[in-house]
Structure 1
Amino acid sequence: MEILKGAGVWTHPGEAGNDWIEQLRTSDLSVGTYCIPVGGRDAQSPHTEDEIYVVTAGRAKIETPGRTDEVSPGTVIFVPAGEEHRFTEVTEDLVLLVVFGPAYGSRSPES
Structure 2
Amino acid sequence: MIAAMKVIESGTFAPAVDGSAEYVEHVRVPALSFGTYSIPAGQPDDQVPHAEDEVYAVVSGRGRFTSGGTTVEVGPGVSLFVPKGEEHRFHDVTEDLTVLVFFAPPYSGRG
Q: TM-score range, shorter-chain basis? A: 0.7 to 0.9
Given that residues 50 and 100 in structure 1 are in contact (C-alpha distance below 8 angstroms), is that contact kept between their aligned partners in structure 2? yes
Identity %: 44
Q: Shift in Å at residue 60 of structure 1? A: 0.7
| Separation in 2, partners of 1:38, 1:60 | 8
Structure 1 equivalent of residue 44 of structure 2: 41
Q: Shift in Å at residue 4 of structure 1? A: 3.6
How many correspondences in the alignment? 108
User: Structure 1 residue 2 and structure 2 residue 5: aligned?
Assistant: yes
Letter of the structure 1 residue corresponding to residue 13 of structure 2: W
Structure 2 equivalent of residue 97 of structure 1: 100
Given that residues 9 and 95 in structure 1 are in contact (C-alpha distance below 8 angstroms), is that contact kept between their aligned partners in structure 2? no
Structure 2 equivalent of residue 14 of structure 1: 17
Letter of the structure 2 residue corresponding to residue 23 of structure 1: H
| Separation in 2, partners of 1:49, 1:7 | 25
Alpha-carbon RMSD: 2.2
Unaligned runs of 5+ in 1: none
Unaligned runs of 5+ in 2: none
Structure 2 equivalent of residue 64 of structure 1: 67
